Amino acid sequence: MGSKMRQKALSSRGSSVLEMMMATLLTGVLLLAGGALFRPAIDVSHMVIQRAAMQQSARSAMNVMSRDLRLAGNGIPGGGIQLPAGPGSVPPKFACDSGDCYLTVSDNQYSNARLYALTTGDEMGEVVNGILTDIVTVAYRDPNSNLDEYPLTEVSVNGNQIRFDTSTSPAYDDPDTGVKSGDVLLLCNMNGCAAGAVTSVLADGYVDLGADPLNINQPAAAFGNIASLMNLASETRAFRILVVTYYIDASNPDALRLMRQVNAHPSQVAAFNVENLQLSYDIFDQNSSTVTNDLSDAGGTPNQIRKINLSLGARSPGEALFQRGYERLILTTSVSPRNLRYRDLY
């Protein structure tokens, strides 16, 4: 009886301290081994997600830009549009709205006071990772607007106000298709063409072009303003055009963005996580039949551009796990603006 009691007491005594330590050590080794095997799987999964987001953003940006670049010059006079110049004028601008200009003063002014189908901006953008980015501005007639079917009944002497026929349908101020503040209108008649940014849409057919944030209609300028067309309302047609500027916004280094700013409307995000924009241009001089490729500024002759070479650099939304940094991707393409590529010789 005494022997059985001693055996029972020994069996209920439990594990010794040494046994507990050995069990804990073995468990730790197994956990470390499992973590070492699991860590690469987590890293690969995270990397795949980051790359997918980066590629989607870059391709979206490329598609949006390519579409605008292809339309460059549609409905725009081949030699560009004369902007206000001469005595009494100030430099016309792009990439501005009623509240902000999104580029520095020296980088958002038209050269030669002329709105071309495409305005180059070599190294005029922000510096990202030590590289100067490019900007570009394209202009084309809005394919979704039929404003030219609306006969103008009045053009003010100073060119600050125009009036549409209110009997047209849809109305000049239709919420979907009509004129809106910030739009850019191109007015053309037998005396030429001039542009102005809409500052307000008024009643009874009137549209005001006075306080123009883009300075593309200046009553005090010697020439190039709407007043220079003279008051030929019945012979004047108004077209809505799109003046689109692309640039990199690096105001937040952790959230780089490709921006698309249209006319005098607020700038909008075209794509996230785009950190570089570079363009070069192939031109063709029809007078000398000379082709020149990969010019950063189109050789100062934007009306001779025949091909645009576009390069976009994107990075992943966040850094890879375990201190591996950002994933990066560069996409390139070439675009032939269909309205600049051909010229009627006959």
Name the most confidently modeled range: 45-59, 99-113, 131-145, 292-306: 131-145
Q: Which residues pair with 328 in a beta bridge?
A: 315
Burial of 38 (0-12, 13-18, 19+ CB in 10 A): exposed
Name the most confidently modeled range: 18-22, 141-145, 234-238: 141-145
Q: What is the pLDDT of residue 293?
A: 92
Summarize pLDDT for 22-72 with one digit per residue, the tens.
Answer: 767 777 666 666 555 555 555 555 566 667 777 888 888 899 999 999 999
- Angle at CA 277, nearest 5°, toward 275 and 281? 170
Contacts of 189 (CB under 8 A, 6+ apart): 229, 232, 235, 236, 237
- Asked whether the predicted pLDDT for residue 12 surpasses 90, the reply is no
State how far the Cα of 110 lies from the Cα of 280, in Å rounded to an integer. Answer: 18
The domain segmentation of the chain, as residue ranges, is 50-341
- Asked whether the predicted pLDDT for residue 86 surpasses 50, the reply is yes
Contacts of 113 (CB under 8 A, 6+ apart): 82, 83, 84, 85, 89, 91, 92, 224
Distances, alpha carbon 202 to alpha carbons 116, 164, 179, 193, 299, in Å: 30, 11, 10, 23, 43
Which region holds residue 80: left if phi is over 0, alpha if psi is between -120 and 50, else beta?
left
Q: What is the pLDDT of residue 346?
A: 34
Q: What is the pLDDT of residue 204?
A: 93
- Angle at CA 199, nearest 5°, toward 193 and 205? 75
* Residue whose entry in the numeric block shows the structure tokens 């883009």: 214
Q: What is the pLDDT of residue 343?
A: 47
Summarize pLDDT for 225-264 with one digit per residue, the tens.
Answer: 998 887 777 788 899 999 999 999 999 988 899 999 999 9
| Structure-model confidence comparison of residues 47 and 342, the more confident one | 47
Q: What is the pLDDT of residue 334?
A: 94
Q: What is the pLDDT of residue 327?
A: 81
Res. 1 pLDDT band, cuts 50 70 90 = low
Tell me the backbone φ, ψ of residue 97, rounded to 5 degrees: -130, -165
Mean pLDDT for the chain overall = 84
Would you give the DSSP letter of residue 112?
G
| Structure-model confidence comparison of residues 9 and 138, the more confident one | 138
| Structure-model confidence comparison of residues 221 and 288, the more confident one | 221
pLDDT-wise least confident of 7-11, 19-23, 241-245: 7-11
Q: What is the pLDDT of residue 177?
A: 86
